[in-house]
Chain A
Amino acid sequence: MRTQLELNVRRKGAMRGILTLGSLDPAFAAAQGVEGEMALLDLRGVEFVEPAGLCGLAALLEFLIPRSRLVGLRFSGHDVAAYLERMDFFRIFGHRIETNVDVAALEERRRGNPGTLQELISFHSEEEIPEIINRISEILTNKGYGLRERAAICATLSEICANAVEHGHSPFGAYAAVQAYQHIVSGGRERGRGEEVLVAIADGGVGIRETLSRNSEYAEHTASDNDALRHALKMGVSGTGEIGRGGGLAVVGQIAARAGGSLSLRSSSGRVTFYGDRTNSRNVPTFPGTFVRVSLPRKAADDQLPSASKN
Protein backbone atom coordinates (compact mmCIF):
# COMPACT_ATOMS: atom_id res chain seq x y z
CA MET A 1 0.00 0.00 0.00
CA ARG A 2 1.22 3.48 -0.78
CA THR A 3 -0.01 7.04 -0.78
CA GLN A 4 0.69 9.27 -3.72
CA LEU A 5 1.22 12.92 -2.73
CA GLU A 6 0.30 15.39 -5.45
CA LEU A 7 1.54 18.93 -5.85
CA ASN A 8 -0.20 21.99 -7.13
CA VAL A 9 2.47 23.23 -9.52
CA ARG A 10 1.14 25.59 -12.17
CA ARG A 11 1.15 24.23 -15.69
CA LYS A 12 1.03 27.63 -17.37
CA GLY A 13 1.42 31.32 -16.68
CA ALA A 14 4.13 33.21 -14.85
CA MET A 15 4.48 30.67 -12.04
CA ARG A 16 4.68 27.67 -14.40
CA GLY A 17 6.75 24.81 -13.05
CA ILE A 18 7.87 26.66 -9.89
CA LEU A 19 7.95 24.72 -6.65
CA THR A 20 6.67 27.25 -4.11
CA LEU A 21 5.44 26.59 -0.60
CA GLY A 22 1.86 26.94 -1.85
CA SER A 23 2.41 24.26 -4.48
CA LEU A 24 3.18 21.82 -1.64
CA ASP A 25 -0.23 22.43 0.00
CA PRO A 26 -1.98 19.31 -1.33
CA ALA A 27 1.01 17.21 -0.23
CA PHE A 28 0.92 18.70 3.29
CA ALA A 29 -2.82 17.98 3.44
CA ALA A 30 -2.35 14.39 2.25
CA ALA A 31 0.65 13.86 4.56
CA GLN A 32 -1.65 14.23 7.57
CA GLY A 33 -3.29 10.94 6.58
CA VAL A 34 -0.10 8.90 6.12
CA GLU A 35 0.09 6.09 8.67
CA GLY A 36 3.11 3.91 8.08
CA GLU A 37 2.65 3.14 4.38
CA MET A 38 4.99 4.23 1.61
CA ALA A 39 4.55 7.84 0.52
CA LEU A 40 5.39 8.88 -3.00
CA LEU A 41 5.88 12.55 -3.79
CA ASP A 42 5.43 13.47 -7.43
CA LEU A 43 7.81 16.28 -8.41
CA ARG A 44 7.55 15.64 -12.15
CA GLY A 45 5.76 18.92 -12.88
CA VAL A 46 8.52 20.91 -11.19
CA GLU A 47 10.96 22.87 -13.35
CA PHE A 48 12.29 25.39 -10.85
CA VAL A 49 12.66 25.34 -7.07
CA GLU A 50 12.61 28.62 -5.16
CA PRO A 51 13.96 28.82 -1.56
CA ALA A 52 10.47 28.62 -0.08
CA GLY A 53 9.82 25.45 -2.12
CA LEU A 54 13.15 24.01 -0.97
CA CYS A 55 12.54 24.72 2.73
CA GLY A 56 8.93 23.60 2.39
CA LEU A 57 10.03 20.35 0.78
CA ALA A 58 12.52 19.77 3.61
CA ALA A 59 9.83 20.43 6.23
CA LEU A 60 7.39 18.13 4.41
CA LEU A 61 9.94 15.32 4.33
CA GLU A 62 10.75 15.79 8.02
CA PHE A 63 7.04 15.42 8.69
CA LEU A 64 6.58 12.43 6.37
CA ILE A 65 9.67 10.33 7.04
CA PRO A 66 8.77 9.34 10.63
CA ARG A 67 5.19 8.59 9.50
CA SER A 68 5.90 6.35 6.53
CA ARG A 69 7.74 3.15 5.82
CA LEU A 70 9.51 4.77 2.89
CA VAL A 71 9.31 8.15 1.18
CA GLY A 72 9.91 8.24 -2.55
CA LEU A 73 10.54 11.27 -4.76
CA ARG A 74 9.79 11.20 -8.48
CA PHE A 75 11.58 13.58 -10.83
CA SER A 76 11.29 14.01 -14.57
CA GLY A 77 14.69 14.49 -16.17
CA HIS A 78 17.78 15.51 -14.23
CA ASP A 79 17.62 19.29 -13.96
CA VAL A 80 15.62 19.62 -10.77
CA ALA A 81 17.43 16.74 -9.06
CA ALA A 82 20.76 18.26 -10.10
CA TYR A 83 19.72 21.60 -8.61
CA LEU A 84 18.66 19.90 -5.38
CA GLU A 85 22.00 18.16 -5.29
CA ARG A 86 23.80 21.49 -5.61
CA MET A 87 21.63 22.73 -2.75
CA ASP A 88 22.96 19.90 -0.55
CA PHE A 89 19.48 18.43 -0.45
CA PHE A 90 20.63 14.85 -1.00
CA ARG A 91 23.40 15.19 1.56
CA ILE A 92 20.68 15.82 4.13
CA PHE A 93 17.94 13.56 2.74
CA GLY A 94 19.65 11.15 0.31
CA HIS A 95 19.93 8.30 2.80
CA ARG A 96 16.41 8.84 4.14
CA ILE A 97 14.43 8.71 0.91
CA GLU A 98 14.26 6.77 -2.35
CA THR A 99 14.35 8.44 -5.78
CA ASN A 100 14.20 7.61 -9.47
CA VAL A 101 17.50 9.43 -10.18
CA ASP A 102 21.06 8.30 -9.61
CA VAL A 103 22.22 10.66 -6.86
CA ALA A 104 25.83 9.44 -7.06
CA ALA A 105 25.98 10.53 -10.70
CA LEU A 106 24.66 13.96 -9.72
CA GLU A 107 27.40 14.31 -7.14
CA GLU A 108 29.95 13.50 -9.79
CA ARG A 109 28.61 16.23 -12.08
CA ARG A 110 28.40 18.81 -9.37
CA ARG A 111 32.11 19.51 -9.03
CA GLY A 112 33.08 23.09 -9.69
CA ASN A 113 29.54 24.16 -10.35
CA PRO A 114 29.03 27.68 -9.05
CA GLY A 115 25.96 29.81 -9.60
CA THR A 116 24.17 29.23 -6.34
CA LEU A 117 24.06 31.63 -3.45
CA GLN A 118 23.72 29.24 -0.56
CA GLU A 119 22.94 25.58 -0.04
CA LEU A 120 20.08 24.39 2.14
CA ILE A 121 21.09 25.17 5.71
CA SER A 122 20.14 22.89 8.55
CA PHE A 123 20.65 24.31 12.03
CA HIS A 124 19.56 23.63 15.58
CA SER A 125 20.67 26.42 17.88
CA GLU A 126 21.24 30.15 18.10
CA GLU A 127 24.99 29.61 18.45
CA GLU A 128 25.14 28.44 14.83
CA ILE A 129 23.57 31.62 13.44
CA PRO A 130 26.53 34.07 13.47
CA GLU A 131 28.57 31.62 11.36
CA ILE A 132 25.67 31.22 8.89
CA ILE A 133 25.36 35.01 8.63
CA ASN A 134 29.10 35.41 8.16
CA ARG A 135 29.04 32.98 5.26
CA ILE A 136 26.05 34.59 3.55
CA SER A 137 27.55 38.04 4.00
CA GLU A 138 30.78 36.89 2.38
CA ILE A 139 28.94 35.39 -0.57
CA LEU A 140 26.90 38.56 -1.01
CA THR A 141 30.08 40.67 -0.87
CA ASN A 142 31.64 38.52 -3.57
CA LYS A 143 28.53 38.97 -5.67
CA GLY A 144 28.87 42.74 -5.49
CA TYR A 145 26.17 43.51 -2.95
CA GLY A 146 26.71 46.79 -1.14
CA LEU A 147 26.78 47.16 2.62
CA ARG A 148 23.20 48.44 2.89
CA GLU A 149 21.77 45.53 0.96
CA ARG A 150 23.88 42.99 2.80
CA ALA A 151 22.84 44.46 6.12
CA ALA A 152 19.16 44.21 5.17
CA ILE A 153 19.44 40.62 3.95
CA CYS A 154 21.62 39.37 6.80
CA ALA A 155 19.74 41.11 9.61
CA THR A 156 16.51 39.65 8.23
CA LEU A 157 17.93 36.17 7.98
CA SER A 158 19.51 36.17 11.45
CA GLU A 159 16.36 37.48 13.12
CA ILE A 160 14.13 34.83 11.56
CA CYS A 161 16.67 32.07 12.14
CA ALA A 162 16.77 33.03 15.82
CA ASN A 163 12.98 32.91 16.02
CA ALA A 164 12.97 29.46 14.42
CA VAL A 165 15.24 27.90 17.04
CA GLU A 166 13.91 29.87 19.99
CA HIS A 167 10.21 29.14 20.01
CA GLY A 168 9.54 25.64 21.18
CA HIS A 169 11.27 22.40 20.41
CA SER A 170 11.48 21.41 16.76
CA PRO A 171 12.44 17.78 16.17
CA PHE A 172 14.57 18.68 13.16
CA GLY A 173 15.71 22.16 14.18
CA ALA A 174 15.21 24.48 11.25
CA TYR A 175 15.99 24.80 7.57
CA ALA A 176 16.96 27.99 5.81
CA ALA A 177 17.47 28.75 2.14
CA VAL A 178 18.62 31.96 0.48
CA GLN A 179 18.94 32.66 -3.23
CA ALA A 180 19.61 35.71 -5.35
CA TYR A 181 17.92 35.89 -8.74
CA GLN A 182 18.55 38.02 -11.81
CA HIS A 183 14.79 38.40 -12.16
CA ILE A 184 11.80 38.83 -9.88
CA VAL A 185 10.53 35.38 -8.88
CA SER A 186 7.61 36.45 -6.68
CA GLY A 187 4.30 37.14 -8.37
CA GLY A 188 2.83 40.58 -8.89
CA ARG A 189 3.20 43.47 -11.28
CA GLU A 190 6.96 43.68 -10.97
CA ARG A 191 7.46 40.08 -12.00
CA GLY A 192 10.25 39.55 -14.45
CA ARG A 193 11.95 42.92 -14.03
CA GLY A 194 14.77 43.64 -11.60
CA GLU A 195 16.50 41.26 -9.23
CA GLU A 196 15.32 39.59 -6.07
CA VAL A 197 16.73 37.91 -3.00
CA LEU A 198 14.50 35.29 -1.43
CA VAL A 199 14.94 34.07 2.12
CA ALA A 200 12.95 31.13 3.48
CA ILE A 201 13.07 29.44 6.85
CA ALA A 202 11.03 26.52 8.17
CA ASP A 203 10.89 24.97 11.61
CA GLY A 204 8.87 22.13 13.09
CA GLY A 205 8.03 23.81 16.37
CA VAL A 206 4.68 24.46 18.03
CA GLY A 207 3.79 27.37 15.77
CA ILE A 208 3.03 31.04 16.30
CA ARG A 209 -0.48 30.77 17.72
CA GLU A 210 0.63 28.29 20.35
CA THR A 211 3.67 30.42 21.25
CA LEU A 212 1.60 33.60 21.65
CA SER A 213 -1.10 31.72 23.57
CA ARG A 214 1.44 31.26 26.38
CA ASN A 215 0.96 34.94 27.06
CA SER A 216 -2.55 35.37 28.48
CA GLU A 217 -2.49 39.05 27.47
CA TYR A 218 -2.96 37.99 23.87
CA ALA A 219 -6.06 35.85 24.39
CA GLU A 220 -8.17 38.00 22.08
CA HIS A 221 -5.47 37.93 19.40
CA THR A 222 -5.05 34.18 19.25
CA ALA A 223 -8.58 33.05 18.40
CA SER A 224 -7.39 31.86 14.98
CA ASP A 225 -4.02 31.15 13.38
CA ASN A 226 -4.38 34.20 11.14
CA ASP A 227 -5.22 36.44 14.11
CA ALA A 228 -2.05 35.21 15.82
CA LEU A 229 0.11 35.72 12.72
CA ARG A 230 -1.16 39.27 12.21
CA HIS A 231 -0.53 40.01 15.87
CA ALA A 232 2.99 38.54 15.75
CA LEU A 233 3.94 41.14 13.13
CA LYS A 234 3.31 43.97 15.58
CA MET A 235 6.13 45.62 17.50
CA GLY A 236 6.70 44.18 20.95
CA VAL A 237 4.50 41.10 20.64
CA SER A 238 6.22 37.97 21.96
CA GLY A 239 5.38 34.75 23.74
CA THR A 240 7.14 35.79 26.93
CA GLY A 241 5.81 39.36 26.90
CA GLU A 242 9.18 40.52 28.26
CA ILE A 243 9.92 44.11 27.44
CA GLY A 244 12.27 44.46 24.48
CA ARG A 245 11.20 41.14 23.02
CA GLY A 246 9.10 40.72 19.91
CA GLY A 247 10.69 43.47 17.87
CA GLY A 248 12.57 41.35 15.36
CA LEU A 249 9.73 40.34 13.09
CA ALA A 250 8.34 43.88 13.01
CA VAL A 251 11.73 45.25 11.95
CA VAL A 252 12.09 42.52 9.30
CA GLY A 253 8.65 43.48 7.93
CA GLN A 254 9.76 47.11 7.69
CA ILE A 255 12.99 46.17 5.91
CA ALA A 256 11.11 44.01 3.38
CA ALA A 257 8.42 46.64 2.78
CA ARG A 258 11.00 49.37 2.29
CA ALA A 259 12.71 47.24 -0.38
CA GLY A 260 9.35 46.86 -2.13
CA GLY A 261 9.14 43.22 -1.07
CA SER A 262 7.09 41.27 1.42
CA LEU A 263 7.18 39.13 4.54
CA SER A 264 5.04 35.98 4.61
CA LEU A 265 4.32 33.98 7.72
CA ARG A 266 2.77 30.60 7.69
CA SER A 267 2.00 28.57 10.74
CA SER A 268 -0.53 25.84 11.27
CA SER A 269 -3.57 26.75 9.11
CA GLY A 270 -2.77 30.46 8.82
CA ARG A 271 -0.96 32.41 6.18
CA VAL A 272 -0.33 36.15 6.35
CA THR A 273 1.66 38.28 3.94
CA PHE A 274 2.78 41.77 4.92
CA TYR A 275 3.57 44.34 2.20
CA GLY A 276 3.94 47.45 4.34
CA ASP A 277 0.77 49.19 3.19
CA ARG A 278 -1.42 46.09 3.35
CA THR A 279 -1.60 42.64 4.91
CA ASN A 280 -3.25 39.67 3.20
CA SER A 281 -4.46 36.61 5.12
CA ARG A 282 -5.94 33.34 4.10
CA ASN A 283 -6.52 29.86 5.44
CA VAL A 284 -4.30 27.09 4.11
CA PRO A 285 -3.71 23.38 4.80
CA THR A 286 -1.88 22.83 8.07
CA PHE A 287 1.84 23.52 8.05
CA PRO A 288 3.46 21.53 10.87
CA GLY A 289 5.54 24.33 12.38
CA THR A 290 6.34 27.87 11.29
CA PHE A 291 7.41 29.04 7.90
CA VAL A 292 8.75 32.47 6.99
CA ARG A 293 9.50 33.81 3.54
CA VAL A 294 11.00 37.21 2.85
CA SER A 295 11.21 38.77 -0.59
CA LEU A 296 13.79 41.52 -1.00
CA PRO A 297 13.69 42.93 -4.52
CA ARG A 298 16.98 44.45 -5.51
CA LYS A 299 16.71 47.93 -6.85
CA ALA A 300 19.04 49.66 -9.29
CA ALA A 301 22.12 51.25 -7.72
CA ASP A 302 20.53 54.72 -7.92
CA ASP A 303 17.76 53.64 -5.61
CA GLN A 304 20.17 52.61 -2.90
CA LEU A 305 20.67 56.13 -1.61
CA PRO A 306 19.44 57.06 1.86
CA SER A 307 16.26 58.58 0.38
CA ALA A 308 14.69 55.17 0.86
CA SER A 309 15.39 55.22 4.60
CA LYS A 310 12.84 55.55 7.35
CA ASN A 311 10.50 58.48 8.11
Chain B
Amino acid sequence: MTEEDSRARAVYDVTSGGNGGAGGKLMVTRGTGRRVREALGEVLEGLPVGGVLYVDTRGVELMDYSFADEALGILASRVAAGEYGDRHVVLVEEDRELLENIEASLRQRGLAMIRADEPGGAPKIVGEVSEHLLETLRAIYEAGAITNADLAERLGINHTACNNRATKLFKLGLIHRRKNTAAPGGRQYSYEGIA
Protein backbone atom coordinates (compact mmCIF):
# COMPACT_ATOMS: atom_id res chain seq x y z
CA MET B 1 0.00 0.00 0.00
CA THR B 2 1.51 3.33 -0.99
CA GLU B 3 1.37 6.27 1.31
CA GLU B 4 -1.05 8.04 -0.98
CA ASP B 5 -3.59 5.26 -0.64
CA SER B 6 -3.49 5.54 3.11
CA ARG B 7 -4.28 9.24 3.15
CA ALA B 8 -7.65 10.17 4.55
CA ARG B 9 -10.02 11.87 2.16
CA ALA B 10 -13.25 13.65 2.78
CA VAL B 11 -15.64 15.18 0.28
CA TYR B 12 -17.65 18.23 1.32
CA ASP B 13 -20.55 19.21 -0.90
CA VAL B 14 -20.87 22.98 -0.53
CA THR B 15 -24.59 22.92 -1.39
CA SER B 16 -25.40 20.54 1.47
CA GLY B 17 -26.18 21.83 4.98
CA GLY B 18 -23.61 23.18 7.36
CA ASN B 19 -23.70 26.67 5.93
CA GLY B 20 -26.30 28.07 8.27
CA GLY B 21 -29.13 27.51 5.81
CA ALA B 22 -28.10 30.44 3.64
CA GLY B 23 -27.73 30.35 -0.10
CA GLY B 24 -28.28 26.73 -1.06
CA LYS B 25 -27.26 26.65 -4.69
CA LEU B 26 -26.75 30.40 -4.82
CA MET B 27 -23.57 31.28 -3.02
CA VAL B 28 -23.35 35.00 -2.50
CA THR B 29 -21.95 37.44 0.07
CA ARG B 30 -19.01 37.29 2.44
CA GLY B 31 -21.29 36.29 5.32
CA THR B 32 -22.36 33.10 3.53
CA GLY B 33 -18.76 32.50 2.48
CA ARG B 34 -17.58 32.81 6.06
CA ARG B 35 -20.08 30.20 7.28
CA VAL B 36 -19.07 27.79 4.53
CA ARG B 37 -15.37 28.37 5.30
CA GLU B 38 -15.93 27.69 9.00
CA ALA B 39 -17.70 24.43 8.15
CA LEU B 40 -14.87 23.46 5.80
CA GLY B 41 -12.30 24.35 8.45
CA GLU B 42 -13.96 22.03 10.96
CA VAL B 43 -13.97 19.10 8.56
CA LEU B 44 -10.36 19.82 7.64
CA GLU B 45 -9.26 19.92 11.28
CA GLY B 46 -11.03 16.61 11.89
CA LEU B 47 -8.97 14.84 9.20
CA PRO B 48 -5.88 12.85 10.18
CA VAL B 49 -2.51 14.39 9.31
CA GLY B 50 -1.88 14.08 5.58
CA GLY B 51 -5.61 14.13 4.86
CA VAL B 52 -7.21 15.83 1.87
CA LEU B 53 -10.53 17.64 1.78
CA TYR B 54 -12.32 17.71 -1.56
CA VAL B 55 -14.46 20.85 -1.69
CA ASP B 56 -17.21 20.04 -4.16
CA THR B 57 -18.84 23.14 -5.65
CA ARG B 58 -20.36 21.40 -8.68
CA GLY B 59 -23.89 21.77 -7.34
CA VAL B 60 -23.53 25.52 -6.90
CA GLU B 61 -25.45 27.45 -9.54
CA LEU B 62 -23.80 30.76 -8.99
CA MET B 63 -21.13 32.30 -6.85
CA ASP B 64 -20.08 35.90 -6.53
CA TYR B 65 -16.55 37.19 -5.97
CA SER B 66 -17.19 37.99 -2.31
CA PHE B 67 -18.28 34.45 -1.54
CA ALA B 68 -15.41 32.94 -3.53
CA ASP B 69 -12.84 35.05 -1.72
CA GLU B 70 -14.30 34.51 1.74
CA ALA B 71 -14.93 30.75 1.43
CA LEU B 72 -12.08 29.60 -0.80
CA GLY B 73 -9.55 32.44 -1.07
CA ILE B 74 -9.20 32.77 2.70
CA LEU B 75 -9.30 28.99 3.19
CA ALA B 76 -6.48 28.56 0.65
CA SER B 77 -4.46 31.29 2.38
CA ARG B 78 -4.85 29.54 5.75
CA VAL B 79 -3.88 26.17 4.30
CA ALA B 80 -0.82 27.82 2.71
CA ALA B 81 0.03 29.47 6.03
CA GLY B 82 0.13 26.01 7.61
CA GLU B 83 -2.83 26.58 9.93
CA TYR B 84 -4.11 23.09 9.21
CA GLY B 85 -0.73 21.39 9.34
CA ASP B 86 -0.21 18.74 6.70
CA ARG B 87 -3.82 18.76 5.53
CA HIS B 88 -4.82 19.91 2.09
CA VAL B 89 -7.73 21.10 0.04
CA VAL B 90 -8.72 20.17 -3.52
CA LEU B 91 -11.46 21.99 -5.40
CA VAL B 92 -13.91 19.74 -7.21
CA GLU B 93 -15.34 21.78 -10.05
CA GLU B 94 -15.64 21.65 -13.80
CA ASP B 95 -14.29 24.25 -16.19
CA ARG B 96 -17.10 26.80 -16.20
CA GLU B 97 -17.60 30.52 -15.60
CA LEU B 98 -18.09 30.07 -11.89
CA LEU B 99 -14.35 29.38 -11.67
CA GLU B 100 -13.67 32.97 -12.75
CA ASN B 101 -14.50 34.28 -9.28
CA ILE B 102 -12.34 31.68 -7.54
CA GLU B 103 -9.54 32.34 -10.01
CA ALA B 104 -9.79 36.11 -9.41
CA SER B 105 -9.68 35.68 -5.64
CA LEU B 106 -6.71 33.28 -5.67
CA ARG B 107 -4.78 35.49 -8.11
CA GLN B 108 -5.39 38.49 -5.90
CA ARG B 109 -3.86 36.53 -3.08
CA GLY B 110 -1.01 35.07 -5.13
CA LEU B 111 -2.34 31.59 -4.34
CA ALA B 112 -3.51 28.54 -6.21
CA MET B 113 -5.53 25.40 -5.60
CA ILE B 114 -5.55 21.98 -7.16
CA ARG B 115 -8.80 21.42 -9.04
CA ALA B 116 -10.32 18.20 -10.33
CA ASP B 117 -13.47 17.65 -12.39
CA GLU B 118 -14.49 14.97 -9.89
CA PRO B 119 -12.97 13.49 -6.72
CA GLY B 120 -9.99 11.49 -7.90
CA GLY B 121 -10.06 13.10 -11.35
CA ALA B 122 -7.03 14.43 -13.19
CA PRO B 123 -5.52 17.34 -11.22
CA LYS B 124 -5.54 20.82 -12.74
CA ILE B 125 -4.65 24.16 -11.30
CA VAL B 126 -6.77 27.22 -10.50
CA GLY B 127 -5.15 30.48 -9.46
CA GLU B 128 -1.69 31.91 -9.87
CA VAL B 129 1.38 29.73 -10.40
CA SER B 130 4.41 30.79 -12.41
CA GLU B 131 5.34 28.84 -15.53
CA HIS B 132 8.29 26.97 -14.02
CA LEU B 133 6.38 26.09 -10.87
CA LEU B 134 3.62 24.73 -13.07
CA GLU B 135 6.20 22.62 -14.94
CA THR B 136 7.49 21.30 -11.61
CA LEU B 137 3.97 20.61 -10.37
CA ARG B 138 3.13 18.64 -13.52
CA ALA B 139 6.26 16.57 -13.18
CA ILE B 140 5.40 15.68 -9.57
CA TYR B 141 1.82 14.75 -10.41
CA GLU B 142 2.90 12.69 -13.43
CA ALA B 143 5.40 10.79 -11.29
CA GLY B 144 2.93 10.08 -8.49
CA ALA B 145 5.74 10.23 -5.91
CA ILE B 146 9.25 11.41 -6.68
CA THR B 147 12.46 12.26 -4.84
CA ASN B 148 14.12 15.62 -5.14
CA ALA B 149 17.06 14.08 -7.03
CA ASP B 150 14.82 12.34 -9.56
CA LEU B 151 12.70 15.45 -9.99
CA ALA B 152 15.78 17.62 -10.53
CA GLU B 153 17.01 15.21 -13.15
CA ARG B 154 13.67 15.10 -14.88
CA LEU B 155 13.50 18.90 -15.01
CA GLY B 156 17.19 19.30 -15.92
CA ILE B 157 17.92 21.64 -13.01
CA ASN B 158 20.24 21.37 -10.00
CA HIS B 159 19.07 19.93 -6.69
CA THR B 160 18.95 23.25 -4.88
CA ALA B 161 16.82 24.91 -7.56
CA CYS B 162 14.55 21.89 -7.59
CA ASN B 163 14.24 21.95 -3.82
CA ASN B 164 13.38 25.67 -3.94
CA ARG B 165 10.63 25.15 -6.49
CA ALA B 166 9.14 22.19 -4.64
CA THR B 167 9.28 24.10 -1.36
CA LYS B 168 7.20 26.87 -2.93
CA LEU B 169 4.64 24.34 -4.15
CA PHE B 170 4.58 22.72 -0.72
CA LYS B 171 4.04 26.09 0.93
CA LEU B 172 1.16 26.82 -1.45
CA GLY B 173 -0.41 23.58 -0.20
CA LEU B 174 -0.30 21.99 -3.66
CA ILE B 175 1.88 18.95 -2.87
CA HIS B 176 2.83 16.64 0.00
CA ARG B 177 6.46 16.65 1.06
CA ARG B 178 8.24 13.96 3.04
CA LYS B 179 11.76 13.68 4.38
CA ASN B 180 13.47 10.40 3.40
CA THR B 181 16.06 9.77 6.07
CA ALA B 182 16.96 6.37 4.66
CA ALA B 183 17.71 7.69 1.20
CA PRO B 184 21.09 6.82 -0.22
CA GLY B 185 23.49 9.74 0.05
CA GLY B 186 21.75 11.16 3.11
CA ARG B 187 18.49 12.96 3.68
CA GLN B 188 16.40 14.27 0.92
CA TYR B 189 12.82 15.23 0.30
CA SER B 190 10.34 13.34 -1.77
CA TYR B 191 7.14 14.80 -3.13
CA GLU B 192 3.76 13.63 -4.24
CA GLY B 193 0.55 15.16 -5.42
CA ILE B 194 -2.34 15.77 -3.02
CA ALA B 195 -5.08 14.74 -5.45
Interface residues of A, Cβ cutoff 8 Å to B: 126-127, 129-130, 133-134, 137, 147-148, 150-152, 154-155, 158-159, 162, 235-236, 243-245, 247-248, 250-252, 254, 309-310
For A147, the closest partner residue in chain B by CB is B61
Interface residues of B, Cβ cutoff 8 Å to A: 22-24, 26, 28-32, 61-66, 69, 73-74, 77, 97-98, 100-101, 104-105, 108-109
Docked complex Cα distance between A85 and B109 (Å): 46
For B106, the closest partner residue in chain A by CB is A244
Q: Are the C-beta atoms of A158 and B100 separated by less than 8 Å?
A: no
With A147-B61, A247-B105, A248-B64 known to touch, is A130 a contact of B100 (CB < 8 Å)? no
Q: Are the C-beta atoms of A310 and B100 separated by less than 8 Å?
A: yes
Q: Are the C-beta atoms of B65 and A154 separated by less than 8 Å?
A: no
Q: Are the C-beta atoms of A148 and B97 separated by less than 8 Å?
A: yes
**Looking at chain A's contact residues, is the secondary structure mostly helix, strand, loop, or mixed?**
helix
- What residues of chain B lie closer than 8 Å to A150, measured between beta carbons? 61-62
Question: Contacting B31 at CB < 8 Å: which of A127, A151, A155?
Answer: A127
- What residues of chain A lie closer than 8 Å to B28, measured between beta carbons? 129-130, 133, 154-155, 158-159, 162
Number of A-B contacts defined by CB within 8 Å: 86
Question: Contacting B62 at CB < 8 Å: which of A127, A137, A236?
Answer: A137
Docked complex Cα distance between A245 and B33 (Å): 13
| Nearest chain B CB to A196 CB, angstrom units | 20
For A308, the closest partner residue in chain B by CB is B97
A-B contact pairs, 16 of them (CB 8 A): A126-B29, A126-B30, A129-B29, A130-B23, A130-B32, A137-B61, A151-B63, A151-B98, A154-B62, A155-B64, A155-B101, A159-B66, A162-B30, A244-B69, A251-B65, A310-B97
Q: Are the C-beta atoms of B30 and A134 separated by less than 8 Å?
A: no
Docked complex Cα distance between A129 and B101 (Å): 18
| Nearest chain B CB to A231 CB, angstrom units | 16
Docked complex Cα distance between A243 and B109 (Å): 6
- What residues of chain B lie closer than 8 Å to A254, measured between beta carbons? 100
- What residues of chain A lie closer than 8 Å to B30, measured between beta carbons? 126, 162
With A244-B69, A309-B97 known to touch, is A151 a contact of B62 (CB < 8 Å)? yes
For B67, the closest partner residue in chain A by CB is A158
Q: Are the C-beta atoms of B109 and A126 separated by less than 8 Å?
A: no
Q: Are the C-beta atoms of A244 and B74 separated by less than 8 Å?
A: yes
- What residues of chain A lie closer than 8 Å to B66, measured between beta carbons? 158-159, 162, 248
Docked complex Cα distance between A162 and B23 (Å): 14
With A244-B74, A244-B109, A250-B104 known to touch, is A158 a contact of B61 (CB < 8 Å)? no
Docked complex Cα distance between A250 and B98 (Å): 15
Question: Contacting B29 at CB < 8 Å: which of A151, A158, A235, A310?
Answer: A158
- What residues of chain B lie closer than 8 Å to A148, measured between beta carbons? 97
Docked complex Cα distance between A91 and B32 (Å): 30
| Nearest chain A CB to B23 CB, angstrom units | 5
- What residues of chain A lie closer than 8 Å to B24, measured between beta carbons? 134
Question: Contacting B65 at CB < 8 Å: which of A152, A159, A243?
Answer: A159
